[in-house]
Amino acid sequence: MSQEYGFEITIVAVVRVRAQSESLAREVLACSALASPSADEIRLANQAEFVRGKAASVVSVDFSIEEDSVKLIEVDERQQ
């Protein structure tokens, strides 16, 4: 019988956002760029792992952002 295991993983991501201001760009991070995967996306990942011979599947994934962990690393002010 399979058991379910829960893991907490620290992830570092560089997300580039095009916006009128830094504050607007920051607002986008929590609501869209780092959203948890959908059930369909998890299902596809599990199917790919099954094809590779892995006998384990992801049940769910939840992401959260610690507000003080967001730091601005670059500003590209080129007009596009």
pLDDT tens, position by position, 39-73: 888 888 888 887 788 778 888 888 777 777 888 88
pTM of this structure = 0.53
Average model confidence (pLDDT) across the chain: 80
The 10 Å Cβ neighbour count of residue 36 is 11
Q: Please identify which residue in the block is written with the tokens 């620290």.
A: 10
CA distance 42 to 49: 11
Residue 80 has pLDDT above 70, yes or no: no
CA distance 3 to 21: 47
Residue 24 has pLDDT above 80, yes or no: yes
Residue 18 has pLDDT above 70, yes or no: yes
Query: Residue ranges per domain, the chain?
Result: 1-75
